[in-house]
């Protein structure tokens, strides 16, 4: 999980640019992308923790294959589920609280059986290691957007 930890550090450093917006890059500002990433990690980790490892069964999924092979998510191709959408007004103090919670959740996730899983609405069931890789890919997707917003 070192890559995910590095990405979380980047998100934390991006708090300083939270109000930046570049409409040509994204209709959302930096804080939206940070909040979204943290919400995704929280929801996914909670799902991993509550999953039953004995229920995991691998099944081929072409979208998972492509995204994991490329190691990236194409921009503007998917909509975020409602439960991971940020609120209209995002406060830095709330981002800090979420970040702290995410770090604690990740420590719990590290102790889980390898067959605990997250059921993604497009990618299907992802066992623990694939779930961590998904979180890395997803977070990096938003980090690239944040970097483009800030440099614009």
pLDDT in the model for residue 79: 85
CA distances from 96 to 64, 93, 99, 116 (A): 31, 5, 5, 28
pLDDT in the model for residue 1: 80
| pTM summary value | 0.96
DSSP state for residue 15 in the 8-state scheme: G
Contact 33, 131 (CB under 8 A): no
How far is 134 from 64, CA to CA, in rounded Å? Answer: 9
Q: Max Cα separation, the chain?
A: 48
Mean pLDDT by 10 residues, the chain (152 residues): 96 98 97 98 98 97 97 89 95 98 97 97 97 98 98 92
Contact 45, 105 (CB under 8 A): yes
Contact 52, 115 (CB under 8 A): no
Instruction: Look up residue 150 and give its two tokens.
Output: 């800030």
pLDDT in the model for residue 135: 98
Non-local CB neighbours of 17 within 8 Å, separated by 6+ positions: 30, 146, 149, 150
Non-local CB neighbours of 123 within 8 Å, separated by 6+ positions: 61, 63, 64, 67, 134
Instruction: Look up residue 43 and give its two tokens.
Output: 């929801």
Q: Which domains does the chain have, with CATH numbers?
A: 2-151 (1.20.120)
């Amino acid at each position: 999980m070192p890559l995910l930890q590095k990405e979380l550090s980047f998100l934390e450093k991006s708090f300083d640019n939270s109000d930046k917006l570049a409409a040509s890059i994204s209709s959302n500002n930096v804080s939206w992308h940070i909040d979204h990433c943290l919400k995704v990690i929280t929801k996914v980790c909670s799902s991993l923790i509550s999953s039953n490892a004995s229920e995991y069964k691998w099944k081929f999924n072409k979208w998972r294959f492509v995204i994991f092979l490329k190691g990236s998510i194409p921009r503007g191709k998917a909509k975020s589920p409602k439960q991971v959408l940020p609120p209209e007004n995002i406060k830095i103090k709330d981002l800090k609280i979420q970040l702290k919670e995410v770090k604690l959740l990740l420590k719990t996730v590290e102790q889980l059986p390898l067959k605990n899983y997250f059921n993604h609405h497009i990618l299907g069931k992802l066992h623990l290691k694939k779930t961590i890789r998904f979180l890395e890919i997803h977070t990096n997707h938003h980090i690239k957007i944040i970097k483009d917003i800030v440099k614009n």
